[in-house]
Amino acid sequence: MPHVMTADHFDGQAGLRVSTIDFSHPWEWLRKGWADVRAAPGYSLTYGTGIVLISLLITTLMILGELTFLVPFLIAGFFLMAPMLSIGLYQMSAHLERGESLESCQALEAFKRNQGQLGMVSAFLFVTLQAWLVVSLVLVALLFDAPFPTLDNFLPVLFFSGEHLLLLIAITLVGAGFAAVVFGIMAITVPLLTDRHVDALTAMRTSVRAVTQNPGPMLLWAGLIVLIVGAGLATFYLGLFIAIPLVGHASWHAYRDLVPSS
């Protein structure tokens, strides 16, 4: 489906145009993302495999350290760090878009192109993840006398006892707030920084403009991301093998659609 831009809005400070889109565009991003996976399955799926292995390693360390109650919160935090984790996939899509070979395509190459600004974004995401985990630990402290409950003990008490409904609602709202803020700020920030020499604040502001200018389609896009990545997480991470490449490539096309070239 060809891109049809219904309107453009010019950000005078950043010199970037932000497109107005409709509800068909997120589906088109997924179609293009899947086309990229099919065009370079070895590279894309190897990248996805790496994410699966890292996720399994972190979970194993949590289990060995008797911190299994943190696993659900780390899974939620996965969505916060996903924009940076997909940087190599953005680079692959950029190479495919230009018809270039992927043999020399590396995530480090994309990071070096604007490493100072991407470093700032990484720091922002890491601080946000830390804040989320602090909130999680406060929750645990409110529920349990023992400092380190087991996952088997933690989940029934929080979700199934019916005794902590207000607290469960509160943590859900806080988590949704974290996710909404990060999505608004980071929806296209990282691919933008890998593609153009702009500063982090400009990229973040452009991302917020893209989301607020297209609230309905971007809400659909956020829901699709949660659905696809959530399905991957629900399969004990194995589904991330395909979910992360699909969403990562699609996110590149979302950026290219929302912030067209001059």
Query: How far apart are alpha carbons 157 and 141 in whole angstroms?
Result: 13
Does 216 score more than 90 pLDDT? Answer: yes
Strand partners, 13: none
Does 2 score more than 60 pLDDT? Answer: no
Q: Is residue 113 within 8 Å of residue 54, measured between CB atoms?
A: no
Q: What is the pLDDT of residue 90?
A: 95
Q: What is the pLDDT of residue 158?
A: 65
Q: What is the pLDDT of residue 12?
A: 42
Does 19 score more than 90 pLDDT? Answer: yes
Instruction: Give the confidence band of 146 by pLDDT, cuts at 50, 70, 90.
Output: low
Helix 71-85, helix 115-143: angle, nearest 10: 170
Question: How does pLDDT run across 82-92, given as a tens digit for each residue?
Answer: 999 999 999 99
Does 64 score more than 50 pLDDT? Answer: yes
For the segment 211-230, the average pLDDT, to the nearest whole number, is 97
Of the candidate ranges 84-98, 148-162, 211-225, the one whose mean pLDDT is the lowest: 148-162
Q: Please give the mean pLDDT across all residues of the chain.
A: 86
Contacts 24+ apart (CB under 8 A), 205-213: 205/11, 205/13, 205/14, 206/11, 206/14, 206/16, 206/18, 206/259, 208/184, 209/9, 209/11, 209/18, 210/18, 210/19, 210/258, 210/259, 211/183, 211/184, 211/187, 212/184, 213/9, 213/18, 213/20
Q: What is the pLDDT of residue 5?
A: 39
Query: How far apart are alpha carbons 22 and 1 in whole angstroms?
Result: 13
Question: How does pLDDT run across 22-59, given as a tens digit for each residue?
Answer: 999 999 999 999 999 999 999 999 999 999 999 999 98
Q: Is residue 73 within 8 Å of residue 133, measured between CB atoms?
A: yes
Strand partners, 10: 17
- What does the DSSP 8-state code read for residue 144? -
SS (H, E, C) 103-121: CCCCHHHHHHHCHHHHHHH
Question: How does pLDDT run across 118-135, given as a tens digit for each residue?
Answer: 999 999 999 999 998 888
Q: Record the pTM.
A: 0.86
